[in-house]
Amino acid sequence: MVRYPMWVMLGIVSGLLWGCNNYLYGVGASAAGAGLVVGIGFPLACTAVNDMSAAIFLLAVNGLRGTFRAIHTVISRSGLFLCAAALLGGPIGQLSYCLGILWAGPTYALALSALYPVVGCLLARLLLHQQVTLRMGIGIVLAVAGGVITGAVPPDSAPLLLLPGMACALLAALCWGGE
Average of pLDDT values for 44-55?
81
Average of pLDDT values for 47-69?
83
Give domain status of residue 6, yes or no: no
Give domain status of residue 131, yes or no: yes
Give domain status of residue 91, yes or no: yes
Q: What is the pLDDT of residue 91?
A: 83
Q: What is the pTM of this model?
A: 0.75
CA distance 107 to 124: 27
Confidence band of 155 (pLDDT split at 50, 70, 90): low
Give domain status of residue 16, yes or no: no
Phi–psi pair at 161, nearest 5 degrees = -105, 45
Confidence band of 171 (pLDDT split at 50, 70, 90): very high
pLDDT tens-place string over residues 115-129:
888 899 899 999 889
Count: domains in the chain = 1
CA distance 83 to 130: 23
Query: Domain residues for 86?
Result: 36-178
Give domain status of residue 119, yes or no: yes
Give domain status of residue 140, yes or no: yes
pLDDT higher at 155 or 175: 175
Quickly count: other Cβ atoms within 10 Å of residue 172's Cβ.
Answer: 28
